Amino acid sequence: MIVDPDDWVLRVDGLGKLYGRLDADAIAATGPECATSKYAPTSTVVAAWDVGFDVAAGEALGVIGESGSGKSTVMRCIAGDVEPTVGSIKMRRRDETIAELTELTPSQRRRLRVEEVSIVHQNPADGLDLRLTAGGNIAEPLTAAGWRSFGGIRQRAADLLDRTEVPLARMDDVVREFSGGMRQRVQLAKALANGPSLVLFDEPTTGLDASVAAGVLDLIRSLLDDLGLAAVVVSHDFGVIEMLTTRCVVMHHGRIVEAGLTDQLMEDPMHPYSQRLVAAARS
């Protein structure tokens, strides 16, 4: 899909998150060149610093790095689960107004999560209520958004389960009884319930068997193509990033070390850390 780079839905600029005291020495003494994210004299951890990117409507952007690279911190800042130390996170809403996510109140942030931003977690149990049925899980965000017709909710749930390849015969089954791959498909259906503008994917196939993961990735790719969503995909695996995204940023020790088109980075990575990740994906 061809996207307009000026038609951004998400804009992250100068994002930084420190655990501990904010000071110039901690920033200068951490990062890829220093091979650490922790400043020993004050025990300050620079989890992310000077992170910036845009995501357009109809585009999936990847954020890749190993554990401790800062990618999950960036995701949690965008989601509103972590308050950034510095920087800006803007979102263009459906009504074309621009929201500065760092300035929203907790109630405004919760409302945004119901109406326009969805998260697909690595562990489906984090995004689903395993005590509820597949249909019941989808009903939750719909009722939170104001849906009141039982018939309308049930039809919407059925449509989404069908779209995410969950057998409709299992709509009234408790999700606890589902396999990991089937739970992830229900979580995808739930994430799409209210037609979000932005979807955040946090390691969406980690922990799944290879064959199951491949099917989930195919499903996510087709959904992104069909629905024209803006998406951010966080992963440690360049194979996942290559499958789902058109552009990506590579993070290491809290900083972006390389950014560009995903296919070009896969073919000719410039930074040694990117080269190592690509080599691991190809092995």
Alpha carbons 217 and 240: distance in angstroms, whole number: 8
- State which residues of the chain have pLDDT below 70: 1-5
**pLDDT attached to residue 193:** 95
Q: Are strands 198-202 and 117-120 parallel, antiparallel or unpaired?
A: parallel
**pLDDT attached to residue 180:** 94
Task: Write the burial class of residue 124 (CB in 10 Å: 0-12 exposed, 13-18 middle, 19+ buried).
Answer: buried
For 32, which DSSP code? G
**pLDDT attached to residue 5:** 57
**pLDDT attached to residue 1:** 45
Q: Which alpha helices (DSSP H) does 60-149 contain, by range?
A: 71-79, 106-115, 134-144
Task: Write the burial class of residue 65 (CB in 10 Å: 0-12 exposed, 13-18 middle, 19+ buried).
Answer: buried
Give, for 8, the enclosing helix (H) or strand (E): strand 8-19
**pLDDT attached to residue 4:** 57
Alpha carbons 9 and 58: distance in angstroms, whole number: 9
Give, for 161, the enclosing helix (H) or strand (E): helix 150-163
**pLDDT attached to residue 92:** 96
Alpha carbons 6 and 11: distance in angstroms, whole number: 11
Alpha carbons 4 and 16: distance in angstroms, whole number: 27
